[in-house]
Amino acid sequence: MDEIAVLGVGMHPWGKWGRNFVEYGVAAARDALADAGVDYSEISFVSGAVTVRCGYPGYVAGSTFARALGFTGAQLASSYAACASGSSALQTARGQILSGACDVALVVGADTTPKGFLAPNTGDRPDDIDWLRFRLVGATNPVYFGLHARRRMELHGATTDDFAMVKVKNSRHSAANPRARFTKEFGLDDVRASPVVSDPLRLLDICTTSDGGAALVVSSLDYARSRGCADPVRVAAVATVSPSHPDPIIDLPYLAADSVPPGAEPGPAFKESIGARVYAEAGLGPDDVDVAEVYDLSTAMELDWYEQLGFCGPGQAERLLRDGDTAVGGRLPVNPSGGLGAFGEAVPAQAIAQVCELAWQLRGQAGDRQVDGARVGISANQGLFGHGSAVIVRR
């Protein structure tokens, strides 16, 4: 598959600002344009990642951001794939560039989140699975995080201290990241002392909801060269796969797993298939990866991703963590940004923000959290309703 260039990256700091999400997206977009050295008038395609909680404009994010920046006649698209929305928006822009329909595009996502748990919009929708899991059993997102953590404990002998060590590692990374919402460094005892939210996970094991925005300016390689950028960070692959049947693991927002016929051998699990697809498309493998940004809605979930992305075998993630391999300075640093635990969920922006962090790492611009010699980075994410999300970038 052909590659595209990442010319510019931009991010509005994460937090709880209480303003319209468009402000965050516009700020991130302007930062990305400035970073790329591209005037907004040159952008011929705007790909917006959608939020569905902020009123009607959120449903037409491409148009909303384009109008705020100033309509120029550029083509528009809006993508909704829950937490995978940013990757879907990037995939859409990538397709436009590789098809020759445009040379340079802006990808932008932003969110203003409500207080408390993320929940479906109001109203009675008994045919909506996401609405049903709240209405029938009160299953907020942390309920699923806790179930996955308990599964890891049963299958692989993980302990609550293993989960806490992920937070300790990531908080050390986030202390060096001025764009993160939480930059306090926590110790093991701090995590142990935080209240239980969804057994066995504690408050510091689970990410919060946040406001924030992120943006990318992406282009054809020919366009990048015409701007004097001979060796840009490149998007080598994007995976937006869906699960295959049967999928025997219950995941958000479903209330039951697929049925498995007697004697049937389940194929690759959904999250394993996300990594497999993006590696195959890039012509790379886990051993080629120098740095990773993964979807740590909970600390336990980060450990799962080590295995799902092929960094180690089943049940070996805890050893990888304890040996320091996944810390900055280790063999394969994971979440040098601090991860979602440091940022929180600003849903349409987070997959884009992961690519921003990887671009900074591959450019050598990550400051005190810099991964030495990083040449290949991978992001992993997942959206409700079976939206896969992974991106490989390389130099």
Tokens 């790379």 — which residue? Answer: 284
pLDDT for 262 equals 66
- What element of type H or E holds 76? strand 75-79
Helices 299-308, 141-156: crossing angle, 10 deg rounding: 60
User: Is-cis flag, bond preceding 262, omega within 30?
Assistant: no
pLDDT for 267 equals 72
Q: Are 130 and 80 contacting, i.e. CB atoms less than 8 angstroms apart? A: no
**How far are the Cα atoms of 11, 214, 349 from residue 211, in angstroms, in the given order?**
11, 11, 9
The residue ranges of the chain whose pLDDT is under 70 are 1, 53-57, 261-266
pLDDT for 53 equals 63
Q: Are 65 and 48 contacting, i.e. CB atoms less than 8 angstroms apart? A: yes
**How far are the Cα atoms of 276, 381, 392 from residue 283, in angstroms, in the given order?**
10, 20, 10
The answer for residues whose C-beta is within 8 angstroms of residue 100's C-beta and 6 or more apart is none
Phi and psi based region of residue 8 (left: phi greater than 0; alpha: psi -120 to 50; beta: remaining): beta
Helices 347-363, 21-36: crossing angle, 10 deg rounding: 20
Pairing of strands 201-202, 75-79: unpaired
Residue of 142, 124, 75 lying closest to 102 (CA atoms): 75
Q: Encode pLDDT of 302-342 as tens digits.
A: 999 999 999 999 999 999 999 999 999 999 999 999 999 99
Q: Are 215 and 29 contacting, i.e. CB atoms less than 8 angstroms apart? A: yes
**How far are the Cα atoms of 62, 76, 166, 346 from residue 49, in angstroms, in the given order?**
7, 11, 29, 11
Q: Are 368 and 180 contacting, i.e. CB atoms less than 8 angstroms apart? A: no
Neighbours of 115 (CB within 10 A): 7
Domain 4-116+211-232 = CATH 3.40.50.720: no
pLDDT for 373 equals 96
pLDDT for 122 equals 77
- Please check whether the two domains, 4-116+211-232 and 129-206+235-394, share a CATH topology: yes
**What 3-state DSSP class applies to 176?**
coil
Tell me which fold the domain 129-206+235-394 belongs to. Answer: Peroxisomal Thiolase; Chain A, domain 1 (3.40.47)
Phi and psi based region of residue 62 (left: phi greater than 0; alpha: psi -120 to 50; beta: remaining): alpha
How many degrees, rounded to 5, is the angle at CA 72 between CA 70 and CA 78?
80
Full-model pTM:
0.96
pLDDT for 346 equals 94
So where are the chain's domains?
A: 4-116+211-232, 129-206+235-394
